[in-house]
Structure 1
Amino acid sequence: MFPEIDMFKDVYVRPSNETTKQLHATMMEKSTAVLQEATLQVPPETPIEDVTVPEDVGFQIMTDVLDQNFGRRRGKVVWCMGKAWVRETGASSSRSNTAEVDALKEEVTQLRAEGEQMRAQLRAQGEEMRTFAGTVRDLVQTIQMFGLQISLPAPHLAPPSTSEPPRPADTQ
């Protein structure tokens, strides 16, 4: 019923190789289970030869059993003088990371936008502070011009040269 599994037996199963015997036995168990499942879908009097299963079920069973026992190899097979596995790089090897890369790109874009917004806010706050410092300086000069005494020492109110807020002079 499954020519791929029969071919596996003909090519690989040898009396002295217990591993391939066990692999073939597992493939046969799975193929029997598939046939039993398929027979449940048809009337009970249907002959086993008339039970239809998907065309590639035998191949799928064989590759599943081999993958479970040996793992899947990444890359492609190159046929020439025999066969060799060549690890692929590029698009196929990066597919698994595409979602992660896209998420990171989105996060970087968002962080850049937030950073630019924060810089704009700091520039605006710095401008406000310079305006405020200028107003206070003008008020202090006006008060001093009229000879009024201020009991608190006047802080150094020169406009800041950076976007940092002004700090009062050390009064100690």
Structure 2
Amino acid sequence: MFKDVYVRPGNKTTKQLHVTMEEKSTAVLHEAASQLPPKTPIEDVMVPEDAGFQIMTDVLNQNYGRSGGNVVRGMGKARIRETGTSSSRSNTTEVDALKVEVMQLRTEDAQMKVQLRAQAKELNTYVGRVQELVQDIQTSGLQISLPVPHHAPPSTSEPHCPANTE
């Protein structure tokens, strides 16, 4: 919604705000997904209905801040600015960035675990097949002699010439 209403070509500020909102949305989605079984499709991950609005509000508050302070009685809408809000805001931004990074690392970790499981399963299949072949060969009594491979590296200074057998 923010993109449709506010982001215009050439407006770097609103474009950056939108990018930040998308990053936070992705982090929220991955956080919700991390609470579910590993094979749950991302389409099945449920997030609260107001998550998008909350993300937009948080990003705008972090970048522009709320009209901070307390209402002073008898002064109408005058406000007294509280001290320390800028350092608190920068700490919050840093914490949020770290949360996004942690979520990305968790996602990468989960993907790597899935890949490792698949590779281990494939390797176990190969090992089992080799064991079956060895047992079949032993059972049949077949004698197989394999040539011994020559592993010496070829010389790069002289062309390879077979040994003279005369």
Q: TM-score, normalised by structure 2?
A: 0.40
The higher-RCO structure (CA 8 Å, 6+ apart) is: 2
TM-score when normalising by structure 1: 0.39
